[in-house]
Structure 1
């Protein structure tokens, strides 16, 4: 599978799936500006979230000559295959919807464990469809930091074991024991994607993202299950949508991209950082902002994960012949 060698080469078709969320919207906008034809595939989402949409921007993109709209159920292989047909790249984004959002998922969502199975099946279908697409050059698979950080804690004096990187995987038994369903789903679905990619010869890069912040984020987000423990162990991290979208573009276009990339631009390691995040999660806009702790009471948690690999990728990308990231 050959990647583009310069910006002068004619842009090809790429698919964003699911394109309906904040990250999907940001990717579609960037890809159109960069000259691609974009297959924007959305999953069924009857629950409307107007706070995530700009109506004028939405109308502009729907009328864009290089935008093609598709409906793709994550458990419908043929719908996925139709959406990626003729594409040279796929940006795979999957967040398990509620049972009211997809009738085809309802059989899985009676219990939280079923969400895990649904996400694994979605990953399998997406990678299989890409493997059967002759024009496919690279898949950028959106995963999560929760597929990295959940595991039994080593001895406190074992500094090497305390540090986590792209080679680290969340422990499946640990996730099941503590009912960390988001982590379990992301770990199993990413492992499934990697297994199929290697077996079918699909060039894949994974972006293991921190908690995506922005409109609509609440304390009930499944990523935040166990957040106090993540904070205590220096692995509670967040990312904004622009940074995350830029990382996906770099992972797709840069020939040197490979493997997994931890992706975040904010580490919650100080009490005032935790207070800001907690305030962001409060649904009532009228709620007062918690005051920052006095400076003499600050306890800085040592950060245990870093983005060194991603930083190098972004440097390679921006110093190459790929044009502006935006």
Structure 2
């Protein structure tokens, strides 16, 4: 894909950012926001020839200078061209293997290797002011927690030894997030790179990408009546001790905030509210009565979150969420769900 027009003569040099995984959900919204903020953007996809999956990138090129590069997390050096000359890099791409036969080989090792491969290219570029690694609060909350009333933030790490010993559900995903983050920190320290980590909770809301592997169908499942997705929503609550939500717009604003705020360091949880499936069901039944929500479907679940995810560190540094309650979040998600055909009307 050709890049869009360069800045007009006489303009100050545009800040340039690389966003890995441009065909993905968060990455597509981040690219859009960076372009709207006047950045020149370079993004990577594994299969540039997949015009259907990458159609949104063609549309985004109308917003500003966007170049698309082929790169693969498993190929060392394949990100060199994409990060060359960039001021910032946003590492959003991650290996996706939902039902791996060998979790260590298919999820954990590729996540660590891929993260270090991109960072190696960033170090080689020599122009990088800040790298933002997008992880997940799966790297915070996957640990044995007895009882209720837990509040987890940046100081909490998921327990990789416990995950490997018990192998419950999609255990390799949180393990991979912890190990990739720690590998990133080690590489950054050894090579003089400035790396911070953003740890979003369940991200929802409209984004340019339409081929989704996200939690949007789950958070709409009580409206759509999709039993399999309701089961997934229940699994999220059981795994997390609640349903922590954040709008994808706020995730991307936090990404840019951490890139531009040179005082930021370490890891940052990104969560605007903590709820439960029962609270969601009651809220949605009142707001969208036309969907005939069956609240008894999840009536056995707890009323209140057993675990709350705290985002105090971001707030302390001056970041403000735009989407702070269920009303604001679902107004947007429902429209998006209808557009994608997840909701019938």
Q: Partner residue of 2:239?
A: 230
CA RMSD in angstroms comes to 3.6
Q: 2:186 aligns with which of 184, 195, 211?
A: 195
CA distance in 2, matches of 1:287, 1:48: 35
State the shift of 1:128 in Å. 1.5
CA contact (8 A) 1:269 1:302 kept: no
Partner Cα distance (1:167, 1:208) in 2: 12
**What pairs up with 1:113-132 in 2 under 5 angstroms?**
113-114=104-105, 115-132=107-124
- The two structures have a TM-score, normalised by structure 1, of 0.74
For residue 19 of structure 2, the aligned residue among 1, 16, 22 is 16
Structure 2: distance between partners of 1:93 and 1:63? 22
- 2:130 is matched with 138
Give the drift of 1:59.
Answer: 3.2
Assess, with a 3 A threshold, how the Cα gap between structure 1 residues 125 and 15 changes in structure 2: closer, same or farther.
Answer: same
Counterpart of 1:165 in structure 2 is: 153
Partner residue of 1:323?
none
Q: CA offset at residue 302 of structure 1?
A: 4.9
> Unpaired runs of 5+ in structure 2?
1-10, 219-227, 285-289, 323-345
- In structure 2, what is the equivalent of residue 281 of structure 1? none
Give the unaligned 5+ runs of structure 1.
Answer: 1-7, 100-108, 278-285, 319-326
Moved more, 301-310 or 265-274: 265-274
How far apart are residue 188 of structure 1 and its match? 0.9
For the structure 1 residues 200 and 298, does the alpha-carbon distance in structure 2 shift closer, same or farther, using more than 3 Å as the test? closer
Match of 1:31 in 2: 34
Structure 2 SS opposite 1:77: coil
User: Residue in 2 aligned with 1:103?
Assistant: none
CA separation of 1:276 and 1:199: change in aligned 2, threshold 3 A: farther
Question: What secondary structure is seen at the aligned counterpart in 2 of 1:78?
Answer: coil
Aligned position for 2:3? none
Report the CA distance between 1:229 and its aligned residue: 2.7
Among 165, 173, 178, the alignment partner of 2:166 is 178
- Post-superposition offset of 1:191: 1.0
Residues 116 and 47 (structure 1), Cα distance of their counterparts in 2 relative to 1, 3 Å cut? farther
Separation in structure 1 between the aligned mates of residue 296 and residue 113 of structure 2, nearest angstrom: 44
- 1:211 Cα shift? 1.8
**Pick from 177, 198, 206: which aligns with 1:207?**
198
Q: CA deviation at 1:78?
A: 1.5
Separation of aligned partners in 1, 2:115 and 2:71? 13
- Could you say which residue in structure 2 is the equivalent of 1:289? 293
- The answer (yes or no) to whether the contact 2:203–2:246 under 8 Å persists in 1 is yes
Alignment of 1:62-77 (within 5 A): 62=61, 66-77=65-76
What residue number does 1:80 align with? Answer: 79
Structure-1 residue corresponding to 2:268: 261
Q: Which whole-Å deviations, capped at 9, do the CAs of 1:107-152 have from their partners, x for residues lacking one?
A: xx65232211111110111112112221011000000000011112
Residue 243 of structure 1 corresponds to which residue in structure 2? Answer: 250
Taking the aligned partners of 1:274 and 1:185, their CA distance within structure 2 comes to 32
Task: Give secondary structure in 1 for the equivalent of 2:22.
Answer: coil
Residue 84 of structure 1: CA displacement? 0.5
| C-alpha contact (below 8 Å) 1:247/1:263 kept by paired residues | yes
CA distance in 2, matches of 1:58, 1:163: 39
**In structure 1, C-alpha distance between the alignment counterparts of 2:59 and 2:277, rounded to whole Å:** 42
